[in-house]
Amino acid sequence: MAIAGAVVVPMDKETENTIKKRLNAIDGVEVHGIGEKGIAVVIEADDIERLRKLSEEIKKWEEVIDVQLSYLNWEEK
Amino acid sequence: MAKVTRREFIKASAAATAMAMASLPVDAIAEPSITYGRAQCRFCGTGCTVLAGIKNGKMVAVKGDADSPINFGRLCMKGYSLPHIMYGKDRLKRPMVRQLNGRYKEVSWDEALDLIADRFASLIKNHGTDSVAWYGSGQNTTQEAFAANKLFKGIIGTANVEGNPRLCMASAVGGYLNTFGADEPAGTYDDLDMTDCFFIIGSNMAEQHPMLFRRVIDRKTAYPDRVKVIVADPRYTPTARYADLHLKFRPGYDTYLLNSMAYVIIEEGLIDEEHLNYCTFRKGLKTKGDFVDFNAYKIFLADYAPDKVASQVGVPAEDIRKAARWFGRKGYATLSLWTMGLNQRTKGVHLNCQVHNLHLLTGKIGKPGCDSLSLTGQPNACGGTREQGGLTHILPGHRAVANPKHRAQIAEIWGVDVKWMPKKPTGPAVNMFMRLDEGKIKAIWINTTNPGQSLPNAGRYREAMKKAFTIVSDIYPTRTTELATVILPSAMWIEKEGVMGQTDRRSQFIPKLIDPPGEARTDFWQIKEVAKRIAKKLGRKTKYRVIDPVSGKVKQVKEVYGLGFETEEEAWNEYRLCTRGQDVDLWGATYEKLKKHAGGIQWPCPTTELNNRGSAKRYISKEYAQRIFGITTKRYRTGYVTIYDQHLEEKGMKGPINYYGHHPFKKGSKNKAIIRVLKAGLDYEMPDREYPYVLNTGRVIEHWHSGTMTMRVRLLRELNPNAYVEVSPEDAKKLNISSGDKLKLISRRGEIVLPVWVTDRARAGMVFVPWFDENKLINLLTVDHPKSWSGAGEPDYKVCAVKLMKA
């Protein structure tokens, strides 16, 4: 189990809702609100590698500047 | 009340931290069985403040501390790995002694400590005090470093005290001393949030100081047109990819580049004439060269006009001009940041001074967003080594071993006889290991560092360590413990208490939150116990005192064999006395204050007033701060820092700006900074016909230093499991190699075979190899010749000549 808290930083205010919709469509991602600094999300995956890849994928979206981790917890095998 | 599962709790914690970081209101979450303690991250020199979650005596969670003015609740991948670095299956748990058959036998602490004390005392008696040595670390707590310094310089009486910061920051010290007369920067991390131009040279911040680079990105994102990011680096690193301007100079030619930028700054009228009143000009380093005037400097720089040097530097002349113009823009702020790319160089001190020169010429120092800020690599290189005096030539509180007055002051505080103390330095780290190799040093205590992997030309010194009586204190087996006569198992990080000091004159407290495994003990305890035994054998008693932490009143209690303090807090208070009234004034950093303030205390902090967190800026007065910043203090939730220099105020020193460095070079430059007139020069071992490529070594984002901790975290290990060699596409074509092929690297000292990564990160003519991999010791190849050391005795890990062969 790997769980991260993160802030998805949008390119601009206009893209926030688009990003939110895309995030909500991903299995394992929960959106917890849109704040001044970005979109607060929780990302959950079976293991840390999958979580990392998911986070990297989101970071590649055109409307996203960055995915900033605020919390990360995983179990070592 | 509904029962919360562990998964639900973790998810709630993750959501809470994300919401806090996104500036959303957060409901408090609490799980009674997890308690969080505030500490400083164990890894790099940034000093991020973390909250370590403890359950049933084990660290189970970590989060960034949102109250921290350093990382604002954020952490990097290594920071998030903290709970996992402590629980590797091979933690050292019992002392061990090497037997005649080469195998290690577990022994009791008493047996190990008695053996060490007996051998040390015998060697000192038969071969003199300089037959023994200490090699510490920028990862020791300040109390550990202070204890070791006192044992070796105060009780034993040898200046054979060195540490791994000599390998990473000594050139930065040399730069600050030569320019300002006093070590460490004038500015603060807050300058990152106020600057208009980042000049990042010889630093891959995006990977090695990611939380500070995050602030670079934040600033650039907020003001994309106003803020410029210049990166000067032979490699096209992730940091360089982010730059508005990448100066991809030829390895070794940055001394030309920096003089050329100075030329443009003067030629195009970007100097700050008012600020030049606080500066003087001097040829060369230290005290040998003449003082000269501005015009002489201007004439000197004529040889470095961009059109004249661009082809040597390997950067278009127009890019040099653009960099200088952005750096010197009138009315805008500039912040320089650098690390090993400047420090680990034959011309390391020159390069540091040359960066300072640009700031002094343009007056981009002592103002919002302006500073010449050397970044630190280790979490306590500044505190435990530079400030505490953990090198051969220095004593606590920025004092010099060679200065009789300084020795007397420290002897008084230490409660030792000044006659016991060494009167002059011996030699810097690599010199010390050379003397170990020559048999002049016969016993060495290596603590919290891994020279078997990190020393240049490591093969030579690995043999030396194996021959000598070598004690190694560490947490895991390393390429150095395998050479030890005695291995001492140490407690790490939050298994012990201590103070550490980072880049911007900041000290933070680390509490003991959990117990170390097995029989592992703190390094502080180890040093204390050895000191008791050795002092008794040498018949040298120390005064044991209790110091009131606020009044400073010293009460002599008794004479003892040992260090004269028992607890870490007592040691800290004695150390604070050493700094009192010095430029590095930490008298105000009481335990109470260190525990209260997330992000710690910034010296100079002469006052114990509870809310005073120290000085954000050095060398400027209260009036100047008011005029330039519009404020004199900055408030945090738990207190405030002054924008001005409290040491300057306390001592009643004059001037809006006062570069008050009390150093050997002050004659002719009192209260002024020195712009050093320095000819450009190259590294010691440049490529030639026989060895035509430059080997550059360094770090990767997943690992820290020799990988002792990070290679025990599965995630980090799997992300980057082994060393490789970066080769440019141009060189790959020439060598007829592709990614995944094997390449043999041969230097004058050693050779190694590594898998190839063809990448545009590398510059044609230069290969890069990370040094974290203990199975591939790249430092068997690097250069250790004394002529390759910087003026501060730091070896060159960035430029040595190699030849390459497809393997």
B482 has a pLDDT exceeding 90: yes
CB B317 within 8 A of CB B306: yes
Residue B561 is classified by DSSP as S
CB B798 within 8 A of CB B752: no
Model confidence, pTM: 0.93
Q: Which of A31-40, A62-71, B39-48, B82-91 has the lowest mean pLDDT?
A: A62-71
Identify which of B140, B48, B42 has the alpha carbon closest to the alpha carbon of residue B506. Answer: B48
Q: Between B440 and B63, whose confidence is greater?
A: B440
Q: What's residue B666's pLDDT?
A: 59
Q: Quick count: other Cβ atoms within 10 Å of Cβ B331? A: 5
- Residues comprising chain A, all counted: 77
Q: What's residue B429's pLDDT?
A: 98
Q: What's residue B31's pLDDT?
A: 59
Q: How does pLDDT run across B335-381, given as a tens digit for each residue? A: 999 999 999 999 999 999 999 999 999 999 999 999 999 999 999 99
Start-to-end CA span in chain B (Å):
66
A34: containing domain: 2-74
- Portion of chain B with pLDDT greater than 70, in percent: 98
Sequence-separated (6 or more) residues with CB below 8 Å from residue B260: B304, B305, B306, B309, B310, B313, B320, B324
Span B417-426, mean pLDDT?
98
Distance from CA of B15 to the nearest CA of A (A): 5
Q: How far is Cα B807 from Cα B805, in angstroms, rounded to an integer?
A: 6
Structure tokens at B142: 């300040």
Domains and their CATH numbers in chain B: 1-32 (no CATH), 96-166+380-541 (3.40.50.740), 170-375 (3.40.228.10), 591-650 (no CATH), 693-806 (2.40.40.20)
Structure tokens at B786: 């004394």
Q: Where are any strands of DSSP class E within B511-637?
A: 542-547, 554-560, 601-602, 612-615, 633-636
Q: Quick count: other Cβ atoms within 10 Å of Cβ B656? A: 17
Q: What's residue B755's pLDDT?
A: 97
Identify which of B454, B453, B435 has the alpha carbon closest to the alpha carbon of residue B444. Answer: B435
The answer to whether residue B581 is catalytic is no
Q: What's residue B613's pLDDT?
A: 98
Interface of chain A against chain B, CB under 8 Å? 1, 3-7, 30, 32-42, 44, 48-49, 52, 65-66, 68-74, 76-77
Span B72-92, mean pLDDT?
91
Handedness of CA A4, B503, B163, B776 (dihedral sign): positive
Q: For the stretch B604-626, what's the b/e string if a residue is b when 16 or more beta carbons lie within 10 angstroms of its beta carbon?
A: bbbbbeeebbbbbbbbbbbebbe
The answer to whether residue B169 is catalytic is yes
Which residues pair with residue B371 across a beta bridge?
Answer: B335
Q: How far is Cα B600 from Cα B49, in angstroms, rounded to an integer?
A: 9
Which chain B residue's Cα is nearest to A7? Answer: B18
The answer to whether residue B602 is catalytic is no
Q: What's residue B34's pLDDT?
A: 82
ipTM for this model? 0.96
Q: What's residue B4's pLDDT?
A: 61
B1 has a pLDDT exceeding 50: no
B3 has a pLDDT exceeding 60: no
Structure tokens at B379: 């979490």
Span B259-281, mean pLDDT?
97
B272 has a pLDDT exceeding 80: yes
Identify which of B183, B137, B211, B162 has the alpha carbon closest to the alpha carbon of residue B379. Answer: B137
The answer to whether residue B655 is catalytic is no
Handedness of CA B243, B247, B253, B258 (dihedral sign): negative
Which residues pair with residue B488 across a beta bridge?
Answer: B473
Which chain A residue's Cα is nearest to B718? Answer: A49
B305 has a pLDDT exceeding 90: yes
Sequence-separated (6 or more) residues with CB below 8 Å from residue B495: B86, B512, B513, B514, B515, B516, B520, B522
Per the structure, how many domains does chain A have? Answer: 1
Per-residue confidence at B172, pLDDT binned at 50, 70, 90?
very high
Distance from CA of A33 to the nearest CA of B (A): 7
Span B291-299, mean pLDDT?
97
Span B228-248, mean pLDDT?
96
Element (H, E) at A31: strand A29-35
Which amino acid appears at position B307 of this protein? D
Q: Which of B61-70, B134-143, B400-409, B474-483 has the lowest mean pLDDT?
A: B61-70
CB B562 within 8 A of CB B148: no
Q: What's residue B29's pLDDT?
A: 57
Start-to-end CA span in chain A (Å):
10
| CB contacts, 8 Å: B715 with chain A | 48-49, 52, 74, 76
Q: What's residue B665's pLDDT?
A: 54
The mean predicted confidence, pLDDT, of chain B is 95
Q: Biggest alpha carbon distance in chain B?
A: 80
Q: How far is Cα B200 from Cα B192, in angstroms, rounded to an integer?
A: 12
Q: Quick count: other Cβ atoms within 10 Å of Cβ B483? A: 22
Q: How far is Cα B376 from Cα B388, in angstroms, rounded to an integer?
A: 16
Q: How does pLDDT run across B639-684, given as a tens digit for each residue? A: 999 999 999 999 999 999 999 985 555 567 889 999 999 999 999 9
Q: What's residue B27's pLDDT?
A: 60
∠ CA(B8), CA(B13), CA(B16), 5° rounding? 125
Q: Which one of B89, B715, B718, B720 makes the best mutation probe of the A interface by having the most chain A beta carbons within 10 Å?
A: B715
Q: What's residue B178's pLDDT?
A: 95
B102 has a pLDDT exceeding 90: yes
B299 has a pLDDT exceeding 60: yes
Q: How does pLDDT run across B598-646, given as a tens digit for each residue? A: 999 999 999 999 999 999 999 999 999 999 999 999 999 999 999 999 9
- Residues comprising chain B, all counted: 807
CATH number of the domain to which A67 belongs: 3.30.70.920
Q: What's residue B2's pLDDT?
A: 47
CB B598 within 8 A of CB B65: yes
Q: Please pick, among B40, B139, B344, B378, the residue that the annotation labels catalytic.
A: B378
Q: What's residue B334's pLDDT?
A: 98
Sequence-separated (6 or more) residues with CB below 8 Å from residue B482: B452
Structure tokens at B360: 């002094």
In order of B115, B137, B723, the CA distances from B386 in angstroms are 31, 11, 31
